[in-house]
Amino acid sequence: MLRTVIGTLGLCLVGVSGLWAQAPAAPAKTSEPVAAMQAAGFKIGFIDLERALLQVEEGKKDFGVLEKFVRDKENEAKSRQDAIEKLRKQLAEQDKNLKEDAKAAMNRDIEGKMTELERFTQDTQREIDGQRTTAINKIGNKMQPIINTMAKEMGYAAILVYSPSSPLYAYIDLDKYDVTNGVIERYNKATPVASNQPTPAKPPAAANPAPAKPAPKN
């Protein structure tokens, strides 16, 4: 569900300069181009940006909120659609017994609810797109310098962003070149997310006993 919410991210190149650009298409030959570039001294790494965005703690929180929003809107849309279908069924069952003005009124009611549903769907999609873009940009802007720093420290000339569904995936030796887990780990350390668990209440302090009164003198 989350991967549907976040949408498809394009293939791009993350250089140490911090620029994001379209990556070249995977070559048609079956030889591995990455190994050839590495052998020539051009060290590059790869990151599954979609997985990184979804698996950092901040991403889990933000996209979890968005996923719940989507589910709630889907349920509301279904309720609206069910109401329309109920009216249609009622109109079909009562068609022979209804006067023309009553039929026209029911048809207007159905058409009005259909228009409302269409407007609701469009407005909801804009809200989803806006929240998704906000979350991606917020996390991506924080992740960019982490990727740049990691590239410099590890001697990468560039870190190529890939998607497992892209043709380039077949040419990547992930054991050697994938830096996704490292980026996630660094991001979580740099951007800790507060726990939603409530702080347990401290037990009340024991009351100080009243000092004993001296015994009366005889």
Confidence category of residue 8, pLDDT binned at 50, 70, 90 = very low
Q: What's the rounded mean pLDDT across residues 133-143? A: 94
Domain range for residue 65?
2-22+34-190
Read off the pLDDT band of 214 (50, 70, 90): low
What digits encode the pLDDT tens for the residues 170-185? 767 777 889 999 999 9
Entry pTM = 0.69
115 lies in some domain: yes
pLDDT top residue among 32 and 15: 32
Of the ranges 19-28, 60-69, 74-83, which one carries the lowest mean pLDDT score?
19-28
Task: Give the model's pLDDT for residue 32.
Answer: 60
- Asked, for residue 211, whether it belongs to a domain, the answer is no
Asked if residue 104 is part of any domain, the answer here is yes
pLDDT: which is higher, 150 or 22:
150
Domain assignment of residue 212, yes or no: no
Residues 182-212 pLDDT 10s: 999 999 999 998 765 545 545 555 555 555 5
Q: What DSSP line would sit under the chain, residue for residue? A: -HHHHH-PPPPEEEETT--EEEPPPPPSSSS-HHHHHHHTT--EEEEEHHHHHHHSHHHHHHHHHHHHHHHHHHHHHHHHHHHHHHHHHHHHHHGGGS-HHHHHHHHHHHHHHHHHHHHHHHHHHHHHHHHHHHHHHHHHHHHHHHHHHHHHHHT-SEEEEE-TTSGGGGG--HHHHB-HHHHHHHHHHHS-----SPPPPPPPPPPPPPPPPPPPP-
Among 38-42, 119-123, 156-160, the range scoring the smallest mean pLDDT is 38-42
Arithmetic mean of pLDDT over the chain: 78
What local confidence, expressed as pLDDT, does residue 28 receive?
Answer: 40
162 or 128, which is more confident: 128
Q: Is the pLDDT confidence value at 26 over 60?
A: no
Q: Say which residue, 81 or 164, is predicted with more confidence.
A: 81
Number of domains into which the chain is organized: 1
Q: Among 35-39, 126-130, 161-165, which stretch is predicted with the lowest mean pLDDT?
A: 35-39
Classify residue 206: in a domain, yes or no: no
